[in-house]
Chain A
Amino acid sequence: MSTTERDLRDAARLEHQTDEGAQEMQPRRREVVMTGGIWPDDDETMIINMGPQHPSTHGVLRIMMELDGETVVRAKPVIGYLHTGMEKTGEQLTYVQGGTNVTRMDYLACLSNELVFALAVENLLDVELPERAVWMRMMLVELQRMASHLLYQAANGMDIGALSMMIYGWREREQVLRLLEMITGLRMNHNFIRVGGLAADLPDGWQAATLEVCDAVEAGVAEYETLLCDNPIWQERTQGVGVITTEQALALGATGPILRSTGFPWDLRKSQPYLAYDAVDFEVIYTDNGDAYDRFLIRLFEILESVKIVRQCVARMPEGDYRVQDRKVTPPPRARIDESMEALIHHFKLFTEGFKVPAGETYVAVESPRGEVGCYLVSDGSPKPVRLHVRGASFYNLQSMEVMVPGSMVADAVAVISSIDPVMGEVDR
């Protein structure tokens, strides 16, 4: 290679260098600088960049794709655009404050994150929850699952071009969020599941409101089914797109609807029951094809299973306390603070210093709408954790894109990303 040629190549490389550095995807073949003559048959591939500012990347996901014409040869997710150091923040906050931090990770399934954090701390503290707290948590998490899957239906419809679906999905989700607002006080980022129970008891009239939402969601799902399931355009866009096998899904750490779409009926609610999932009746939805259409079907029918669980929770909600009455973990009732010096001290200590958790380490996992969400918690006996690691389901599910996207068209890549249903808050933390 002559000096000029090398200079030209270096110049070309420098020109294309971004501040992303090693995140760059290198072309597999060396770039050729043509200086005239006859051009060879153009069989070079091209690398294009999708996102982080793209309407169908569900936040700030960036994908580098190597294209051969219209076909994707390789796809590499580049993440970190929403990284806010939440695991570091978690080490600065006490266990009382920790819920406000973890709830913002997977912002579409806030309660699942709060639940897994609370379960991990309770595992280290070794506290037993009252029945009512367990059932309340289960009902709230299932309502959240309905909201999350409804939003998926809306966003997925929008990505693939079924715009009416977007409006319908938001409509039903809003009803669920209104119910969650009535119960927890907030539409999102509730911080309602606390260590030792919940923040408050259920409000008056919750049964009627919950059943009303259940009816509305069921009617909505029936509507989506008519609209999409047998719709030939919808089937053309999603069937056989983004196929993954069970072996690939297991090897890549994919969980939730992605794993279940490959014919593998794995749901932590059924296989390793936590809360009171072994006491309620529901089915694990799974299909065999492992494509985008199957993942759509699974999420659609999981909404109905969640409705089923919520109805059972309404019918069988036990009476009793909504949190443990251990003043070292949960605050005293407001009225007691005026009467009892001890209650005042407990309240003060709990909200300034927090409570101490015995030294130890634990890993607790629950099934969020997106798959296995785990919390690895290490304590050194102080009121703040040494390490608060959250295994985000989307973080792992995103890796399956590397086998789902190659071989498909560029337009199908959008359908595949949508079918993974990633939440970037959970990926980047």
Chain B
Amino acid sequence: MSDAASDVATPDADAPDADAPGIADPVAAAVVARFPGSVAVESHGQSVVYVDRGSLRAVTELLRDEERFTQCSDVTAVDHAADLERVVVPGVVPERFEVVVNLLSHPRNRRIRLIAEVPETDPVVPSVTPLFPGANFPEREAFDMFGIEFEGHPDLTRILLPDDWAGHPLRKDDHPARIPVTFKGDPAPR
């Protein structure tokens, strides 16, 4: 077991990639070099890559197979419809929704975050569940809460809300008090 322990404990010391000057993170540089149109930024000391939504799964596959990212920590979405102020990332066309995939590499002891911009009119992104089965529940949650479809997901149904629920509650235009509370056997809605 000592091998695994030392493998985990040593942080990676790769030199920055020569292909993409200006990007300090070698993994982000590798993604940008392979997928033109991706934008690598640093957000509060964390490595973030804005990718085209069509290539989200391909980028995840690259990171899993070639860059040793072993676990999908988190998949979630954000609705930017009501932002007062939004961080402008040069080279990224902002859309209403963002799908956020957090990946963790145990051997390299580091994280990376992929963000895909998703337009309101066509909220579809490729699912990463075929690559990381653990993304099953969180993608169902994002579908449930935001109405974003994950193409290629094996069982894209609502997870937290009842199946006959109307709307997607974490969207900014879905107000918490929209639905009057009624109980079974109530004579009339209050």
Contact = CB atoms under 8 A, between A and B. Distances in A.
B120 to A, nearest CB: 16
B101 to A, nearest CB: 11
A50 B159 CA distance: 17
B9 to A, nearest CB: 7
A271 B1 contact: no
A359 B4 CA distance: 39
A380 B84 CA distance: 6
A263 B1 contact: yes
B87 A360 contact: yes
Given A360-B44, A362-B46, A396-B134, A272 B109 contact: yes
A276 interface: no
A20 B8 CA distance: 43
B73 A372 contact: yes
A22 B163 contact: yes
B83 A386 contact: yes
A129 interface: no
Given A250-B71, A359-B86, A266 B8 contact: yes
Q: Most chain-B Cβ atoms within 10 A of its Cβ — which of A253, A359, A360, A399?
A: A253
B160 A387 contact: no
Interface in A9-68: 19-23
B137 A359 contact: no
Contact of A380 (B70, B86, B141): B86
B44 A123 contact: yes
A396 B137 contact: yes
B118 to A, nearest CB: 14
A361 B160 contact: no
B5 interface: yes
A85 B176 contact: yes
Interface string B88-110: 00000000000010100010010
B162 interface: yes
B170 interface: yes
Contacts of B86: 359, 380
Interface in A414-429: 428-429
B17 interface: no
Given A361-B43, A362-B46, A363-B113, A253 B132 contact: yes
A88 interface: yes
B153 interface: no
B102 A363 contact: yes
A230 to B, nearest CB: 23
B74 interface: yes
A147 B85 CA distance: 42
B27 to A, nearest CB: 16
B138 A395 contact: yes
Interface in B47-81: 48, 70-74, 76, 78-80
Interface string A341-363: 00000000000000000011111
B43 A362 contact: yes
Given A123-B44, A124-B44, A253 B83 contact: no
B163 A20 contact: yes
Nearest to A395: B137
B158 to A, nearest CB: 8
A270 B106 CA distance: 12
Interface string B26-38: 0000000000000
Contacts of B116: none
Nearest to A361: B43
B133 A252 contact: yes
Interface string A257-294: 00000011110001110000000000000101000000
A85 B72 contact: no
Interface in B103-139: 106, 109, 111, 113, 132-138
A382 interface: yes
Contacts of B161: 80, 83
Contacts of B164: 19, 21
A253 B1 contact: no
A331 to B, nearest CB: 25
B16 interface: no
A376 B106 CA distance: 20
Contacts of A376: 74, 76, 100, 102
A191 B35 CA distance: 44
A363 B9 contact: no
A143 interface: no
A297 interface: no
6 contacts: A79-B160, A362-B43, A376-B74, A380-B83, A380-B86, A381-B85
Interface of A: 19-23, 79-80, 83, 85, 87-89, 92, 123-124, 126, 250-255, 263-266, 270-272, 286, 288, 359-363, 365, 372, 374, 376, 378, 380-382, 386-387, 389, 391, 395-396, 398-399, 428-429
Given A23-B163, A253-B71, A363-B46, 16 more contacts: A19-B164, A22-B163, A23-B158, A80-B161, A87-B170, A251-B133, A253-B135, A255-B71, A263-B1, A265-B5, A361-B78, A363-B111, A376-B76, A378-B78, A380-B83, A391-B73
Which 6 pairs from chain A and chain B are nearest by CB? A253-B134, A21-B163, A80-B160, A83-B160, A380-B83, A381-B85
